[in-house]
Amino acid sequence: MKMPEPDATVLARQAQIAAALAAIVPDGVIADAAGVSPYGSDGLVMYRQSPLAVVLPRTTEQVSKVLAWCHANGVKVVARGSGTSLSGGALPLADGIVLGMARFNRILSVDYDNRCAVVQPGVTNLAVSQAIAHKGFYYAPDPSSQIACSIGGNVAENAGGVHCLKYGTTSPNLLGVELVLMDGTVLRLGGPGQEQAGYDLLGLVCGSEGLLGVVTEATVRILPKPATSRALLLGFPSVADASDCVAAIIAAGIIPAGLEMMDAPAIRAAEDFVQAGYPTDVEALMIAEADGSVAEVDDQLARITQIANAHNCTHLRASTDEAQRLLFWAGRKAAFPAVGRIASDYYCVDGTIPRRQLGAVLGKISAIVARHGLGVANVFHAGDGNLHPLVMYDASVPGQTEAAEAAGAEILMACVDAGGVLTGEHGVGVEKRDLMEHQFSTIDIEVQSRLKCAFDAHGLLNPGKLFPTLSRCAEMNHMHVHGGRLPFPELPRF
């Protein structure tokens, strides 16, 4: 993975930069090698790079001053929440600082009348739900890392979870942000209302992977907890049967709260790890969850049962209480660490495909992984077509890390070739950056990436992520229409 060449003059000014930033955040600058080392990596552990320094601000004013100083002095900035990104979104740059948002850890207000909460970006996803549970409310997006991942990181990545089909990813659940631009400008986008005036800049910022600004406050939508949630555990003799069953459920007009699938290796790993009571003699396992009133839940589960039986379902259990429902989920939510127990290392891939392509794409994944001499277990957000193949490898065997990366890239290209996309919820980051051209044309990427010029004209916020190259903003005020010719063919790749 090639990152932008570090600027030697910036590296040489390290002590001076740390001192200037310490004047803005007196108790919040780490600049020694041992101190910055824990920030060297995020959830994509294949990559590691120590930053120039780590700055831990407490207030929006400090964030604004730090960014303004870095803007004026040409220092790059990588914002970081809890560092759980699976795509390298928070991977530091050698010549840039990490702006750690962990001290922004307060829930500022909860407005039950308007169903929203104003939280600081360092608050964890689960902490939002926990803080409002006593009033019967919760925050719907639930990424698997929800005990650790931060709301700021969720906004940056437009994080998903297992209930997206019905409740959406972060973006539909985000009502407003306070955003600091690279030049220090503090803006408010959206708020407690249901619509903002002007362009949907909030929608643009959500999922922009830390390239457009730093979120210092988020207003999120909260919902009353459904009266009932119940889950079905369904086993099938083949992935094809399970996949047809998913299609039939959707075709019947049912939108379950959750619709998850696992293949045989994932089922066995999860069952060995948490003893969730999964059948180990099936080739595909589905968890279908319904929530809402008792009448709606009973009706939905009865219809799903009927459909499953018509699709060769060989194992069917309905949760009878909350403990059992959570046990059904425990295996699925622990699928990653479960695979971590049977393989020395695993690499979680994240692509989305049209659901009907599932069988064909799983076949391709098996072939790709086998060709690289590796193993794979698959978990799948079946309702919305989001695949998570877990490629198993051993980093201590020379060549296997590279083989896992290569297999991951081929899997993602297979997703795109099947009519899908490179990432359903983990983001592009550094991981999929160089695959963007497999999904988008040069012009498509240019139309997106040049937006950075409106927010960060010097390209100092998280460069090297998301886009293979960045536009030269100074030239952006002119028309560049030359019969479809590349806008900047001479520009080098990172």
Partner 1 sequence: MAYRPATIEELAEMIPDAAVHGRSLAVSGTGSRPGIGPGAADADLDLTGLGGSIDHDPGELLLTLPASTPLDHVEKLLAQSGQCLAFEPPSPDAIWGLGHGTIGGAVASGLSGPRRPFAGACRDHVLGLSGVTGRGEIFTAGGKVLKNVTGFDLPRLLTGSRGTLAVLTQITLKVLPLAPAQATLLLPADTAAKAVRIIAHALMLDGGITGAAWSEGEVQLRIESSPSVLPALVDAARARLPASTLIEGDASRALWAAIASLYGHARADDIIWRCPLPANRAPALAALLPPDARLRLDWAGALAWVLLPAGAADLDVHGLVAQAAGRDGHAERLRGPASAIPARAPLEPGLAALSARVKALFDPAGILSPAAAPGGAA
For residue 259, which amino acid is it?
L
299 belongs to the binding site for partner 1 (CB under 8 A): yes
193 belongs to the binding site for partner 1 (CB under 8 A): yes
How far is C-alpha 428 from the geometric centre of its chain's CA atoms?
9
CA distance 454 to 463: 15
CB-based contacts of 43, cutoff 8 Å, min separation 6: 83, 84, 85, 86, 145
Work out how close the CB of 51 gets to partner 1 at its nearest, in angstroms, rounded to a whole number.
Answer: 25
- Classify the C-alpha dihedral 7-72-99-44 as positive or negative: negative
163 belongs to the binding site for partner 1 (CB under 8 A): no
Work out how close the CB of 25 gets to partner 1 at its nearest, in angstroms, rounded to a whole number.
Answer: 23
203 or 375: CB nearest partner 1? 203
Nearest to 180 by CA among 98, 263, 79, 106: 79
- Kindly indicate which of the ranges 34-42, 251-259, 305-313, 328-336 contains the residues binding partner 1, using the contact rule CB under 8 A: 251-259
- Kindly indicate which of the ranges 4-12, 90-98, 191-199, 263-271 contains the residues binding partner 1, using the contact rule CB under 8 A: 191-199
Touching partner 1, residues 254-273 (CB under 8 A): 254-255
20 or 68: CB nearest partner 1? 68
16 belongs to the binding site for partner 1 (CB under 8 A): no
Query: SS3 for 476?
Result: coil
CA distance 288 to 318: 9
Work out how close the CB of 427 gets to partner 1 at its nearest, in angstroms, rounded to a whole number.
Answer: 6
- Kindly indicate which of the ranges 28-36, 40-48, 52-60, 447-455 contains the residues binding partner 1, using the contact rule CB under 8 A: 447-455
- Kindly indicate which of the ranges 22-30, 48-56, 230-238, 289-297 contains the residues binding partner 1, using the contact rule CB under 8 A: 289-297
**Tokens describing residue 17:** 């930069």
389 belongs to the binding site for partner 1 (CB under 8 A): no
DSSP conformation class of 157? H
Among 450, 459, 460, 469, binds partner 1 (CB under 8 A): 450
Instruction: Give, in degrees to the nearest 5, the angle at Cα 432 between 427 and 435.
Output: 130
123 or 353: CB nearest partner 1? 353
109 belongs to the binding site for partner 1 (CB under 8 A): no
474 belongs to the binding site for partner 1 (CB under 8 A): no
Query: SS3 for 475?
Result: helix
441 belongs to the binding site for partner 1 (CB under 8 A): yes
7 or 296: CB nearest partner 1? 296
251 belongs to the binding site for partner 1 (CB under 8 A): yes
Q: Residues 316-355 vs partner 1: string with x where CB under 8 A? A: ------------------------------------xxxx
Instruction: Give, in degrees to the nearest 5, the angle at Cα 381 between 376 and 384.
Output: 130
445 belongs to the binding site for partner 1 (CB under 8 A): yes
CA distance 380 to 352: 9
Note whether 206 and 174 are within 8 A (CB).
yes
Task: Write the CA distances from 431 to 93, 107, 228, 352, 423, integer angstroms.
Answer: 15, 32, 39, 16, 10
CB-based contacts of 21, cutoff 8 Å, min separation 6: 29, 53, 55, 66, 69, 97
- Kindly indicate which of the ranges 113-121, 140-148, 318-326, 364-372 contains the residues binding partner 1, using the contact rule CB under 8 A: 113-121
Among 136, 277, 363, 399, binds partner 1 (CB under 8 A): 136
CA distance 57 to 128: 21
39 belongs to the binding site for partner 1 (CB under 8 A): no
463 belongs to the binding site for partner 1 (CB under 8 A): no
Note whether 130 and 217 are within 8 A (CB).
no
Work out how close the CB of 372 gets to partner 1 at its nearest, in angstroms, rounded to a whole number.
Answer: 24
444 belongs to the binding site for partner 1 (CB under 8 A): yes
Touching partner 1, residues 43-82 (CB under 8 A): none
Among 11, 133, 147, 187, binds partner 1 (CB under 8 A): 187
CA distance 249 to 168: 19
Work out how close the CB of 204 gets to partner 1 at its nearest, in angstroms, rounded to a whole number.
Answer: 4
**Tokens describing residue 138:** 């919760």
CA distance 16 to 118: 36
Note whether 379 and 161 are within 8 A (CB).
no
Among 153, 160, 331, 464, binds partner 1 (CB under 8 A): 160
Q: Please work out the total of residues on this chain that contact partner 1, with binding judged by CB under 8 A.
A: 95
CA distance 311 to 246: 10
Among 54, 131, 164, 377, binds partner 1 (CB under 8 A): 164
36 or 411: CB nearest partner 1? 411
The angle, 0 to 180 degrees and rounded to 10, between the axes of the packed helices 239-251 and 294-309 is 140
Touching partner 1, residues 401-440 (CB under 8 A): 419-428, 432, 436, 439-440
**Tokens describing residue 191:** 């708020």
201 belongs to the binding site for partner 1 (CB under 8 A): yes
